[in-house]
Homo-oligomer: A and B are copies of this chain.
Amino acid sequence: MPAGARAYAGEKRRIEASEDCRPVPARADSPQECRSVAPLRGASDMITAMTHDGSNVRVHTDYLWFETARRQEIVRITDDVARIVEASGVREGMVLVSAMHITAGVYVNDWERGLIADIQEWLEHLAPARPDYRHHQTGEDNADAHLKRTILGHQVMLPITSGALDLGPWEQVFYAEFDGKRRKRVVVKVMGIA
């Protein structure tokens, strides 16, 4: 089993839990508990199927880790993703960049601090932090974070052309944290022809 991988078996048992598996006070009446995950070593993994003509079909997996200083934070990750794509050796294909935690998002938009502040203020307007969400009856206090990430999206697929991210002139990729100050992950999965 490659580093970073884990078997998903649908079971629900509480774990020692490095990762976003805080004990939740009243979550007992709730259908879900945090699932077991295998130890994460932060290493990446590469699987290749060699084709007849010497080309390779390749799937490369890596993870980005975040532990933001503030509860809400937007972090540019274009270069991190570009580095993983370069390491994969994939020349033509796609890369999935997907937040693995449900109070965080991944999106593509402008790298301009004014707009980033506009986005945060706008999300607060559309999905305000409030005490009276039903979700908070479980002991959680982050329902707004679940909603904010819903508007922004939690994943993007980026095209890879000639061995590099095929982005428009202003496209940048961001990780959007809405309930931070603890370790969270983004999966980066490259698939294509190497």
Contact = CB atoms under 8 A, between A and B. Distances in A.
Interface string A170-185: 1110000000000001
B166 A137 contact: no
A189 B95 CA distance: 12
Q: Is the interface of A mostly helix, strand, loop or mixed?
A: mixed
A6 interface: yes
Contacts of A115: 133-135, 143, 146
Contacts of A78: 10
A8 B95 CA distance: 14
A45 interface: yes
A55 interface: yes
A124 to B, nearest CB: 13
10 cross-chain pairs, A with B, having the tightest CB-CB distances, nearest first: A100-B168, A114-B134, A49-B55, A32-B111, A59-B92, A5-B162, A115-B135, A49-B51, A114-B135, A47-B92
